Structure formats: structure tokens, C-alpha cells
Amino acid sequence: MKLMFEKILPSENSSWRYWLYKLDNIEFNWHYHPEYEIALTLNSHGQRYVGDNIEPYDELDMALLGPHLPHTWCSAPAANGKAQKVFVAQIPVRWIENLILSIPDLADFKSLLELSRRGVKFSKNTVNKSAKIFSKMQHANASQRFIGLMEIFQLMLEDKGKHVLSSDGYNISLTSDASTDKLDKVIRHIHQHYTDTLNAADVAKLVHMSTNHFHRFFKQRTEQTFTEVVNQLRISKACSLLINSQRPIATISDTCGFNNIANFNRRFLQFKGMRPNEFRQIYAGKSVSIS
């Protein structure tokens, strides 16, 4: 499957779209749209893909995405059956940019929109405050939602802990090209087969490259090696199982595609700075709920 275009329709009596999704899990859906987007996830653990950035995310996550920036979140169902929430604000480019131009008081927002072209992630403090505002929007009228949206923009602007996601050289192409198609195919293959034995030589054949060419191509496009991305995805899946299930650690290791428990422990320590049993003791049972 290729990168998909998504058509956005504004909410009723509004210039932009507000939505709350309640999901068992978030499906991998690599897509883009011409609107700016704020996406805030709660009670969810998985992988966030934004441009050429791939990172694990936890129960409090929010990103601002610029126009045409490819993205998706992906998570497994929670073992406790608790719904995963995704608050979304999708904002037409012309509307928000004209608003900023016509109202001098909002001029500072322009720098935030510029950063969003590569995707921006925010601190937990900002996500917490924004989640409360998003939650209130469920029962608000259009003018109240607009005020809430401006409050969230102000929080994002003032957040000193925010950081850009995609690499400096990442180039958004409005039309699919051969290189983008190949990277999309590789990312989807990794996501679909992370529990299997994956090696660069086999994946290189999938996109008709030599192994050496594939390694250079993948590192240039993602700023990570093929092995790093595979292990990062596997560890993220393992974290979700450690938090949301009582499965033995050895079973989780096998489920997530590691060939032995020693390798799993070593990689987990590399990515999380602690061993799997320590992670489970600290995080198991923790959840976030904004009502």
C-alpha cells in the first residue's frame, strides 16, 4: 500500500475540524493531507511515524504536523480493554495563515507553523494541559472551541521542551516518487513482519536494491540503520505487552521477534536504560485518563 491522501472536512459551523476517536488500537495508516494537524493520544503505547522520524510514544503524546507531512501512529490493543483516545484538530492552511496575517496579536504563531513542516513533539506538561482543553471541547460550541484551539497554540508556542521530529533535510514531495515509494514499502514491511526474522539483504531485494545500496539509502532517509529501526519497533511492542499483560518476559521476547532472551535484555537496556523486569515494575498498571 502506498502513502494515502486523506480528505478533511471541517466540523459543522466551524472553520476547522475537531474530533475525538476512541479506539481499541490505532491501525498503521501512512497518510497525509493539506491541513495542519494537532494529534494528541491518551492511554496508548506504540510507534509514531512522522516524515522520516520513527519513535516509540507513550500514554501522553502530542504532535503538531504541517501540511502534506506523511504520518501515522500505531498501537496494539490494551490488555485491560481500556479505550485509547486520540484528540485531533485539523486546520486549513489558508484559514490559519490568513488569521495570523490579519491579527497582529497572533504573529508569534507563525514560527510554530514553520516548525510544523517537519513535525513537532511537545513536553508532558503541555500535553496534560492541552488534553484538558481538548476534553472540554467535546461539549463546547464553535466559538468556545476556537478559543480552546488558540489556547493550545499558545501552550505549544511557549513550550521550551518541544522538539522537531523529521530531519533537517527531509523533503515533502506532494507527488509520490520512486524513492518515497520504496521507503514506504520498506517501512510497511518492517511493521508487518517485525515478529519474523528480518535481514537487510532480503528487504533490499524487496525494493530491487543491492544490500550495500539499501543500507545507504535507508540511513540517508531515516537517519537510523535498518537494525536500529527494527529493534526500536520490537522494543516498543514489548513495552506495550509488559505494561498491558502478565505474559512472562521470555514469551514477550519471542512474540516481539527476538531470537533469544539475552539479546532481548541487551536491546531493551540499550533503548530504555533498564531491564524489562525493571520497566514492568515501574510502569505496569499506570494509565492516564482525562475526563
All 3 cell numbers of residue 163? 522538539
**Which has more confidence, 234 or 173?**
234
Is the pLDDT at 25 greater than 50? The verdict is yes
Q: Residue 94 and residue 100: Cα distance in Å, rounded?
A: 10
Q: What is the pLDDT of residues 46-68, one digit of tens each?
A: 899 998 888 889 889 999 999 98
Q: What is the pLDDT of residues 125-180, one digit of tens each?
A: 999 999 999 999 988 988 999 999 999 999 999 999 999 999 887 766 544 557 77
pLDDT band at 224 (very low <50, low <70, confident <90, very high): confident
**CB atoms near residue 277 (< 10 Å):** 12
Is the pLDDT at 75 greater than 80? The verdict is yes
pLDDT band at 6 (very low <50, low <70, confident <90, very high): low
Is the pLDDT at 45 greater than 60? The verdict is yes
With beta carbons less than 8 A apart as the criterion, state whether 281 and 291 touch: no
- Mean pLDDT value of segment 241-249: 87
Q: Residue 203 and residue 262: Cα distance in Å, rounded?
A: 25
Segments making up each domain of the chain, as ranges: 4-164, 178-283
- % pLDDT > 90, the chain: 56
All 3 cell numbers of residue 50? 512522522
Instruction: Write the DSSP string, the chain.
Output: ---EE----PPTTSSSEEEEEEESSPPP--EE-SSEEEEEEES--EEEEETTEEEEE-SEEEEEE-TT--EEEEEPPPTT-PPEEEEEEEE-HHHHHHHHHH-GGGTTHHHHHHHHTT-EE--HHHHHHHHHHHHHGGG--HHHHHHHHHHHHHHHHH-TT-EE-S-TT----SS--HHHHHHHHHHHHHHHHTTS---HHHHHHHTT--HHHHHHHHHHHHSS-HHHHHHHHHHHHHHHHHHH----HHHHHHHTT-SSHHHHHHHHHHHHSS-HHHHHHHHTT------
The predicted pLDDT at position 4 comes to 60
Place domain 178-283 in its CATH homologous superfamily.
Answer: Homeodomain-like (1.10.10.60)
Q: Residue 63 and residue 174: Cα distance in Å, rounded?
A: 21
Query: In this structure, which CATH number among 3.40.50.740, 3.40.50.300, 3.30.70.60, 2.60.120.280 belongs to the domain 4-164?
Result: 2.60.120.280
pTM to 2 decimals? 0.67
Is the pLDDT at 285 greater than 70? The verdict is no
Is the pLDDT at 122 greater than 60? The verdict is yes
